[in-house]
Amino acid sequence: MPIFEYACRDCHADFELLVQASATPVCPSCSSPSLQKRLSAFAVGRGGPSATPAAPQACGGCGDPRGAGACSMN
């Protein structure tokens, strides 16, 4: 079951909900079925499973490969 984020059009509550394919979601605060589905931060945060994070750049002061601020020279 996927987790979806919703905003209630009646009471303006924001919430997350586990939704089965056959179920009609309702607001947990006011039981209204008038909901707006939101795009979750998880869905847009990293660009999907194929996205790879960029490698850190070497420190400008000492050349530490872990990146800027990794050594005690800063």
Per-block average pLDDT, block size 10, for the chain (74 residues)?
Answer: 85 88 88 88 54 59 66 60
Instruction: Look at residue 21 in the predicted model and tell me its pLDDT.
Output: 77
At 68 the pLDDT is 65
| Residue 30, CA distances (Å) to 34, 64, 72 in order | 10, 55, 55
Helix/strand/coil percentages in the chain, nearest 5: 5, 20, 75
N-to-C CA span, the chain: 47
Note the Cα 57 to chain centre separation in Å.
Answer: 26
List the chain domain ranges: 3-44
pLDDT, residue 41, reads: 62
Question: pTM for the whole thing?
Answer: 0.51
